[in-house]
A = this chain, B = another copy of it.
Amino acid sequence: MSTVTPMNGEEFVAALRALSSRYWGTHPFHHRLHNGELTEYELRMWAANRWYYQCNLPQKDAAIISNCPIPEIRRQWLDRIVYHDGKTAGDGGAERWLRLCEAVGLDRDEVLDERHLVPGVRFAVDAYVTFARTKPWVEAVASGLTEMFAGHLMQQRVADMLANYAWIAPADLAYFTNRINAVSGEGKATVDLVVRHCVTREQQEKAIAALSFKCDVLWSMLDAIERAGVKA
């Protein structure tokens, strides 16, 4: 038993929120993306590589369900798999990402066969899925709390991309506009879940470490994507 006093809920949430500066919203590549400074090639490498992240999310979420013995939470988390995979083929977040890929000039096939996928993105995404498979479910849930920081960034992204890339239409950005609704409320339900199930100081610290790890996953993806966009 730890003798260290747990944080109260407010302190714990503040400690999670304090990681916002490490969220990929501040990554130089995202700044260039928003400012309209990416070449078409860079945009394509960004979209094709991030696809690997998007298409792994259902497996990450299923790992959380597999590790969770609480039916209510499993029932709630199942919606995330449906969100990404869709209720039927051609529906869902993964499909919306593919639409964005096509808008920036990629064929669907060259996205699906992962020919543009660079090792740094693969390692980071695989590390995230492995984390969800091997850690207690509440830590894996906490790692997803980057959704606390996502809403504002995505709203800005839609405005900036429409303003700065003439060939992108509002419908092409359906992934983001749809996702803005999904993460509205800054992930409050997920934050509440983590607060409710991390009651010892040790559990709270593991949750903070999990969110920190996830910030690293995303940041590292953008480092690799940035490099991939530089033609040899």
Contact = CB atoms under 8 A, between A and B. Distances in A.
**How many of chain A's residues touch chain B, expressed as a range?**
20 to 34
A48 to B, nearest CB: 17
Interface stretch (A5-13, A24-32, A38-46, A79-87): A79-87
A213 to B, nearest CB: 18
B78 A78 contact: yes
A78 B69 contact: no
Interface string A209-229: 000000000000000000000
Nearest to A71: B85
Interface stretch (A14-22, A55-63, A142-150, A200-208): A55-63
B71 A94 contact: yes
Interface of A: 55, 58-60, 62-63, 65-69, 71-72, 74-75, 78, 81-82, 85-89, 94, 129, 132-133
